[in-house]
């Protein structure tokens, strides 16, 4: 009898199933670990690339912030030696340009008023003070000009070029003509020169001015004038004329603040013969003496200080009668020296030089 056979597959081993599951879990964990590893590598690379592109931003911010940094500006404004701000400079420049235009038109009164107002607001503005001193010199108010130059000198080297100009003015030039001089110390002589003007036969080679100590005189000056002839000419000393004009300053508004002196003036030749027979220099000494409490007379004012100088004589200079202002208010200002030959002007000098403009020679036949 045939038998029925039933096939029953073998049961899977339970331990095998568990092992297979563990392998699958480990494989999945391995895949996840690999994914996390590569993800961690990719993420820093992106992070590094992003700051590299954004790096210029802080620099741009810093460059924009640099001009507005307050500490340097505050420090510069606190330092008196540093230059003023642009706005201050532009205001000062506008003022100086306006003053220059006023001075060119001859309106020195308005120019000085504007400068005075600016100086009151900024007493240490050396450019404004220098312009004031220059205008005072142009109107021959030397007392005020010297005072203003001294204000610049007191500011010190921080005033720059204005300080150097003030020092030079107070040591020599126009300002030195009225600067106080110690009676024991002679004034500095002018620079000697042997140059004779073109077309002239005589020239002034040197002029020295010395203040002598005199207890009885308010001012006692000695002027030594050296005159030399050209080597290739012959001089007739009777045709030589030397004119010396002394001037005083008065406390009056221009142009009446400068007058011919009323002091006692005399002359004397220091060299023998003084006939220019050879090429030696002939020296003429002229004295200016203003006694203390000088009594005035109508003959005191001098019109031409040496119009009558004779190379063979010694004496006082001619005077022109006429009323004169109060002598106690007069201060010595300076001089003009003119040399003429055969009624033709040969050479002339003046201290201050502005006197030549104010009082030009009447002789038009100058070389």
Q: What distance in Å separates the CA atoms of residue 39 and residue 48, rounded to the nearest whole number?
A: 15
pTM: 0.45
Least reliable range by pLDDT among 66-75, 155-164, 236-245, 254-263: 66-75
Q: What distance in Å separates the CA atoms of residue 146 and residue 133, rounded to the nearest whole number?
A: 7
Q: What distance in Å separates the CA atoms of residue 152 and residue 158, rounded to the nearest whole number?
A: 10
Would the pLDDT of 257 be above 50? yes
Overall average pLDDT of the 287-309 stretch: 60
133-169 pLDDT, tens digit each = 888 887 777 778 888 888 998 898 888 888 888 888 8
Backbone CA torsion sign across 93, 98, 104, 110: negative
pLDDT at 309: 63
Overall average pLDDT of the 305-329 stretch: 55
Would the pLDDT of 353 be above 70? yes
Overall average pLDDT of the 107-120 stretch: 83
Task: Pick 194 or 111 by higher pLDDT.
Answer: 111
162-217 pLDDT, tens digit each = 888 888 888 755 444 444 444 444 444 444 445 688 889 999 989 999 988 888 89
Would the pLDDT of 297 be above 70? no
Contact of 366 with 344, CB cutoff 8 Å: yes
Give strand pairing partners of 285.
224, 268
Q: Residue 288: count other Cβ atoms within 10 Å of its Cβ.
A: 24
Contact of 243 with 318, CB cutoff 8 Å: no
Overall average pLDDT of the 92-102 stretch: 82
60-86 pLDDT, tens digit each = 333 444 444 444 444 443 444 444 444
Q: What distance in Å separates the CA atoms of residue 301 and residue 177, rounded to the nearest whole number?
A: 21
Task: Pick 258 or 50 by higher pLDDT.
Answer: 258
- Percent of the chain whose pLDDT exceeds 70: 64
What percent of the residues of the chain are helix, what percent strand, and what percent coil, each to the nearest 5?
Answer: 40, 20, 40
């Amino acid at each position: 009898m045939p038998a029925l056979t039933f096939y029953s597959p073998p049961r899977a081993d339970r331990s095998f199933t568990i092992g297979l599951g563990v392998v699958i879990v480990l494989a999945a964990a391995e895949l996840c670990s690999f994914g996390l590893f590569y993800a961690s590598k990719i993420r820093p690379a992106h992070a590094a690339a992003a700051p590299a592109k954004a790096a210029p931003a802080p620099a741009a911010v810093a460059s924009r912030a640099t001009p507005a940094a307050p500490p340097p500006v505050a420090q510069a404004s606190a330092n008196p030696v540093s230059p003023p701000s642009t706005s201050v400079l532009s205001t000062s420049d506008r003022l100086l340009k306006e003053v220059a235009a006023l001075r060119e038109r001859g309106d020195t009164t308005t120019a000085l008023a504007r400068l005075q107002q600016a100086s009151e607001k900024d007493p240490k503005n050396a450019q404004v003070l220098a312009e004031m001193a220059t205008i005072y010199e142009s109107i021959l108010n030397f007392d005020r000009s010297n005072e203003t130059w001294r204000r610049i000198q007191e500011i010190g080297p921080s005033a720059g070029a204005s300080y150097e100009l003030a020092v030079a003015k107070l040591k020599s030039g126009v300002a030195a003509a009225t600067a106080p001089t110690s009676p024991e110390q002679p004034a500095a002589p002018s620079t000697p020169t042997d140059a004779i003007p073109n077309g002239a036969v005589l020239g002034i080679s040197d002029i020295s001015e010395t203040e002598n100590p005199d207890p009885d005189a308010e001012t006692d000056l000695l002027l030594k004038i050296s005159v030399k002839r050209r080597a290739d000419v012959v001089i007739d000393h009777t045709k030589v004329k030397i004119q010396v004009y002394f001037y005083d300053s008065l406390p009056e508004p221009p142009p009446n603040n400068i007058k011919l002196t009323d002091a006692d003036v005399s002359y004397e030749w220091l060299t023998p013969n003084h006939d220019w027979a050879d090429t030696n220099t002939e020296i003429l000494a002229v004295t200016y003496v203003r006694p203390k409490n000088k009594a005035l007379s109508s003959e005191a004012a001098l019109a031409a200080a040496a119009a009558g100088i004779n190379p063979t004589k010694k004496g006082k200079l001619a005077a022109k009668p006429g009323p004169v202002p109060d002598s106690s208010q007069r201060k010595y200002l300076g001089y003009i020296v003119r040399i003429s030959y055969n009624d033709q002007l040969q050479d002339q000098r003046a201290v201050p030089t502005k006197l030549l403009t104010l009082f030009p020679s009447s002789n038009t036949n100058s070389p």
